[in-house]
């Protein structure tokens, strides 16, 4: 691992992915982007990614299913799942799948930044 923190941001809404990546870049994150679940699985396999910020609802492969595959390959990885629906059912299932946190949309950006900081603190300079 080099010194930079890496995060894979996955959402089928490109605008969401762009803005989140730009914000996280401001806070010193190296960001990878994916716009659907299967791309996320491929990227996570090819790169050294330990933290994911992933939307729950996506075409083809939803966030939880993608996470299940990724987790099997990278047990150390953590995921923050975003959902606009946030029904109790989703939350329960997510917890069962070892999702680290479930965040409801709309996101409280400062809180998100703080949460991600706590997951992978910036390396001390």
Partner 1 sequence: VSLIGRLSLRWKVPALLAIVLAAAVTTFGLMAYGVVRRAAIAAAVARQASVADQIAQLAQAGLGNLTRQVAEVASEPALVSALRDPANATAMAAAHTTLARLARDSALLVSVELRDREEKQVDAVGRPVPVRKSVVPAVSADSVSRSGFYLAGDRVVYDVRAPVRDGDRHIGWVVVVRPPATTGQGVRVLAQLIGEEAVLLLGNADGSFWTDLRGPVQRPVPSLGGIPYERDGRRRLSAAVPLPRTPWVLAVEMPEDVVLAPTRALLRNLAVLAVVIVVAAALAGERLTRSITAPIVGLTARAESIAGGSPPLPAQPIHRQDEIGRLARAFAVMADSVRQAREHLESQIGERTAELERALAQLQQAQDELLRKERLAMLGQLSSSIGHEMRNPLGVMNNAVYYLEMTLPDAPPKVKEYLALIRGQIRLSERIVSDLLDSTRSRPPESASVAVPDLLDEQLARVTIPRSVRVERDLASDLPRAWVDPDHAGQILVNLVTNAIQAMDGTGGMLRVRAHGRDGRVCIEVEDSGPGVPVENLEKIFEPLFTTKARGIGLGLSVSRSLARANEGDLTVRNLAGAGAVFLLDLPADTRA
H/E element, 104? strand 101-104
Apex 85 CA angle, 80 and 89, nearest 5: 80
106 binds partner 1 (CB under 8 A): yes
How far, in Å, CA of 64 to CA of 94, rounded?
7
Among 105, 115, 117, 120, binds partner 1 (CB under 8 A): 105
For partner 1, the binding residues in 11-70 under the rule CB under 8 A are 13, 15-16, 19-20, 22-23, 26
User: Per CB under 8 A, which region of 8-16, 32-40, 42-50, 116-124 contacts partner 1?
Assistant: 8-16
Residue number with CB closer to partner 1 (12 or 97): 12
Which are the contacts of 62, defined by CB distance < 8 A and separation ≥ 6? 37, 56
CB atoms within 10 A of CB 81: 26
Among 43, 91, 107, 119, binds partner 1 (CB under 8 A): 107
Q: List residues binding partner 1 (CB under 8 A).
A: 13, 15-16, 19-20, 22-23, 26, 84-85, 105-107, 109-110
């Amino acid at each position: 691992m080099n010194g930079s923190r890496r995060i894979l941001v996955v959402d089928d809404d490109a605008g969401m992915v762009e803005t989140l990546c730009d914000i996280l870049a401001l806070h010193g994150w190296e960001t990878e982007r994916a716009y659907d679940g299967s791309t996320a699985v491929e990227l996570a396999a090819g790169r050294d990614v330990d933290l994911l910020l992933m939307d729950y609802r996506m075409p083809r492969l939803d966030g939880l299913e993608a996470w299940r595959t990724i987790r099997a390959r990278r047990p150390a990885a953590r995921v923050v799942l975003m959902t606009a629906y946030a029904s109790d059912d989703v939350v329960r299932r997510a917890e069962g799948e070892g999702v680290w946190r479930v965040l409801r949309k709309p996101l409280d950006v400062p809180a998100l930044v703080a949460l991600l900081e706590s997951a992978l603190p910036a390396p001390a300079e």
